[in-house]
């Protein structure tokens, strides 16, 4: 059994993938070839966003979005500590400071009520209201990065309202949620700008690294396309700002175009798989993931909570079922973030989730038979 079965997917579209790769080998435009435009157009339309800018990874997508807002030293960016390290890392790379905000216990996404508190605490320079990082006295609130964890969008109606009132930008970390929905809108269309990832294990993955930035904002779009190619102006030897080499390879775009043709159908299959898990694992001792009314998860991961996680993981391993723990250590307790001066107990919801959470195999091709087997093993342990 595979945790994510990329092989089953490849078998369905192998011919198209080879055809698309061969077309690139024929035209030879390995950098910014015609497949890049085609992919940006297709995914921008799917997400319902005016501009889509492909790039080298989900991390660079986040970084480029922050660079487009000219985030730098002295800036505070609010995000959650219960995420992949890249979300916080890009803030720090630019010399800005992450201000962590705890999550909702059921969706694992940023808790809007706590965001409001964190903003107020920073404004009134009062860390008794909400834990603040070292050096908070000199910080100015600039933006918010909500994370659509495991594929479910955060609560954007509330988060956008809070951010708007304080003139903060909202950068949606949609690395896990491409294909997800929130109140009739698609993930990647839910903030001022969004970043997604095409890492192979994500809902829409390529065969290497890749990512995309989405925005309706024309000015931001101009910045993003410039930052992506070394801060280019009229051409790449006219450099008007500091940028990066953030391009997506034409070959990866060609592979993604083949994969995208079956992606909407795969999203439906993921809903069926998640629905089956929900029924099979509705047992005492297990908390199955909660999806808010009006939301659709892209099911990047199927993550459960249990007090008996470690016994369950061991039992599943013995039964040959692969599992994973996302994430065993929240960012505020990571060595890399020691300099922020946060302490255990600062974000208790994240800390508790880190102790109880585990993820089961999840992909569109998971069979009912395998799911029944997994559920039987878990019930046997409990």
* Choice between 319 and 325, CB closer to ligand PLP: 325
Q: Would you call 166 exposed, middle or buried from its count of C-beta atoms within 10 A (0-12, 13-18, 19+)?
A: middle
Quote the strand ranges of 43-202, DSSP E.
51-55, 75-79, 97-100, 140-145, 169-173, 181-182, 185-186, 193-197
* Choice between 54 and 83, CB closer to ligand PLP: 83
Nearest CA to 196 among 183, 207, 208, 205?
A: 205
Residues that bind ligand PLP (CB under 6 A): 57-59, 83-84, 86-87, 147, 173, 175-176, 197, 199, 209, 211
To ligand PLP, the closest distance from the beta carbon of 198 in angstroms equals 7
DSSP state of 247: P
Q: Do 209 and 297 meet the contact criterion of CB atoms below 8 Å apart?
A: no
* Total Cβ atoms within 10 A of residue 140: 11
* Separation CA 270–CA 215 (nearest Å): 26
Helix (H, G, I), strand (E, B) or coil at 303: strand
* Choice between 212 and 378, CB closer to ligand PLP: 212
Strand 357-360 to strand 140-145: parallel, antiparallel, or no bridges (unpaired)?
unpaired
To ligand PLP, the closest distance from the beta carbon of 206 in angstroms equals 10
* Separation CA 278–CA 290 (nearest Å): 9
To ligand PLP, the closest distance from the beta carbon of 280 in angstroms equals 26
* Choice between 119 and 149, CB closer to ligand PLP: 149
Minimal CB distance residue for ligand PLP: 58
* Choice between 169 and 327, CB closer to ligand PLP: 327
DSSP state of 57: -
* Choice between 67 and 147, CB closer to ligand PLP: 147
To ligand PLP, the closest distance from the beta carbon of 248 in angstroms equals 11
To ligand PLP, the closest distance from the beta carbon of 62 in angstroms equals 6
To ligand PLP, the closest distance from the beta carbon of 318 in angstroms equals 29
To ligand PLP, the closest distance from the beta carbon of 69 in angstroms equals 17
To ligand PLP, the closest distance from the beta carbon of 357 in angstroms equals 14
* Total Cβ atoms within 10 A of residue 185: 14
* Choice between 173 and 192, CB closer to ligand PLP: 173
Q: Do 147 and 110 meet the contact criterion of CB atoms below 8 Å apart?
A: yes
Buried b or exposed e, range 43-59, using 16+ CB within 10 angstroms: bbebbebebbbbbbbbb
* Choice between 267 and 331, CB closer to ligand PLP: 331
């Amino acid at each position: 059994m595979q945790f994510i079965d990329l092989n089953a997917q490849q078998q369905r579209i192998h011919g198209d993938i080879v055809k698309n790769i061969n077309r690139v080998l024929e035209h030879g435009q390995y950098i910014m070839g015609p497949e890049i435009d085609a992919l940006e157009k297709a995914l921008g339309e799917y997400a319902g966003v005016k501009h889509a800018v492909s790039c080298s990874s989900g991390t660079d997508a986040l970084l480029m979005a922050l660079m487009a807002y000219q985030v730098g030293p002295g800036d505070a960016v609010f995000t959650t500590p219960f995420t992949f390290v890249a979300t916080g890392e890009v803030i720090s790379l630019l010399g800005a400071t992450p201000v962590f905000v705890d999550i909702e216990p059921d969706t694992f996404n940023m808790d809007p009520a706590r965001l409001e508190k964190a903003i107020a605490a920073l404004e009134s320079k009062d860390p008794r209201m909400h834990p603040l990082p070292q050096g908070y006295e000199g910080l100015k609130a600039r933006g918010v990065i909500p994370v659509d964890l495991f594929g479910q969008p955060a609560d954007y109606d509330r988060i956008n309202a809070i951010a708007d009132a304080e003139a903060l930008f909202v950068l949606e970390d949609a690395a896990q949620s491409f294909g997800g929905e929130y109140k009739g809108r698609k993930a990647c269309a839910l903030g001022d700008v969004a970043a997604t990832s095409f890492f192979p294990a994500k809902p829409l993955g390529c065969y290497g690294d890749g990512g995309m930035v989405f925005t309706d904002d024309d000015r931001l779009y101009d910045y993003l396309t410039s930052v992506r190619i070394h801060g280019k102006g009229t051409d790449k030897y006219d450099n008007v700002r500091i940028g990066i080499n953030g391009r997506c390879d034409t070959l990866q775009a060609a592979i993604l175009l083949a994969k995208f043709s079956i992606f909407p159908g795969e999203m439906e299959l993921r809903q069926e798989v998640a629905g089956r898990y929900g029924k099979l694992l509705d047992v005492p001792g297990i908390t199955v993931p909660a999806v808010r009314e009006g939301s659709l998860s892209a099911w990047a991961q199927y993550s459960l909570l249990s007090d008996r996680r470690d016994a369950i993981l061991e039992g599943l391993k013995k039964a040959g079922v692969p599992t994973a723990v996302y994430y065993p250590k929240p960012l505020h307790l990571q060595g890399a973030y020691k300099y922020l001066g946060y302490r255990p107990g600062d974000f208790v919801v994240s800390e508790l989730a880190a102790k109880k959470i585990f993820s089961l195999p999840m992909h569109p091709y998971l069979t009912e038979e395998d799911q029944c087997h997994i559920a039987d093993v878990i019930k046997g342990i409990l």
